[in-house]
Amino acid sequence: MIQFQKPIGFLDNEDKELFQSPCPPLADFTTQDPWRILRIQGEIVEGFDALSKIGPAATIFGSARFGPDNPYYQAGVEIARQLATAGMAVISGGGPGIMEAANLGAHSIQGTSIGCQIQLPREPAPNPYQTIALKFRYFFVRKLMFIKYSVAFIIMPGGFGTMDELFEALTLVQTDKIDHFPIVLYGSQYWSGLVKWMNEQMIPGGTIEAEDLSLFTLADTPAEAARIVIDNSRKHGFLKTPCV
């Protein structure tokens, strides 16, 4: 059953309004930045309250444009199902495509299926496979929830938003701002061009070190992607090791 958490009084594009410089200065306090801080605080508190007891979780990112017939969608369902079977919560962006696949996989076995949706001017409907459904005005608050409550990221093929989430995770791990948790890129054919560019341009150019490429792992089957996350979670005590 979906437990919707809906902040009151959504504007069309809170992020855009936040990042605009107020010229001329705004007279109405409810449109000024100090007031926005209170709304941001409210979103953070609401997210912390909803997710603080979910246990170990993995976030699955990927394109919103893939339908159920797409192999990556089907792989996302299976990855999430295996993670949930092992006792992990599954987090997604709460929308269609890979997000829906992730929630569907966890929901199909009555696992904890979490969606962190973003308010957009052209907003897709939330997918119906969530046991906890949150809705955010601000991208950076939403991304905070992904980072804070995940012990692994699985990055399916996707567009600009997926790339943003991938490189933010890599940056935070590289700079030791978060623990070095698994970042799994699913589908080596899709990611091979990017990895090649890192090897041929970024490393020779001195913008990253060769060892930085060890911050992520490629996987080509749902079982492999899920195993990397599950094994690491057991190694660090997030999940119990099954009796043999």
> CA-CA distance, 150 to 168, in Å (whole number)?
14
Q: How many CB atoms lie within 10 A of CB 232?
A: 19
> CA-CA distance, 47 to 41, in Å (whole number)?
10
> How far from 174 is each of 160, 167, 179, 195, 213, CA to CA, in Å?
21, 10, 9, 16, 10
Average pLDDT, integer, range 142-157:
97
Q: What is the per-residue pLDDT across 107-119, written as a single tens digit (0 to 9) for each?
A: 999 999 999 999 8
Average pLDDT, integer, range 134-139:
94
CB-based contacts of 225, cutoff 8 Å, min separation 6:
75, 79, 154, 184, 186, 219
Q: Using omega within 30 degrees of 0 as the cis cutoff, is the peptide bond preceding 71 cis?
A: no
Which region among 35-44, 86-95, 203-212 has the lowest average model confidence (pLDDT)?
A: 35-44
> CA-CA distance, 45 to 39, in Å (whole number)?
10
Phi, psi angle pair for 28, to nearest 5°: -75, 120
> CA-CA distance, 86 to 205, in Å (whole number)?
42
pLDDT for res 5 = 46
57-61/183-186 β-pairing: unpaired
Highest mean pLDDT out of 14-18, 121-125, 127-131:
127-131
Helical (H) or strand (E) element with 115: strand 113-118
Q: How many CB atoms lie within 10 A of CB 119?
A: 19
Which residue is it, tokens 């052209």?
122
pLDDT for res 225 = 98
Model confidence at 76, in pLDDT bands (50, 70, 90)? very high
User: pTM of this prediction?
Assistant: 0.87
Q: How many CB atoms lie within 10 A of CB 98?
A: 32
Burial class from Cβ neighbours inside 10 Å (0-12, 13-18, 19+) for residue 56 reads buried
Q: What is the per-residue pLDDT across 14-73, written as a single tens digit (0 to 9) for each?
A: 655 655 555 555 556 556 778 889 999 999 999 999 999 999 999 999 999 999 999 999
pLDDT for res 3 = 46
Which residue is it, tokens 């948790």?
181
> CA-CA distance, 26 to 57, in Å (whole number)?
42
Q: What is the CATH number assigned to the segment(s) 4-235?
A: 3.40.50.450
Burial class from Cβ neighbours inside 10 Å (0-12, 13-18, 19+) for residue 88 reads buried
Domain ranges of the chain: 4-235
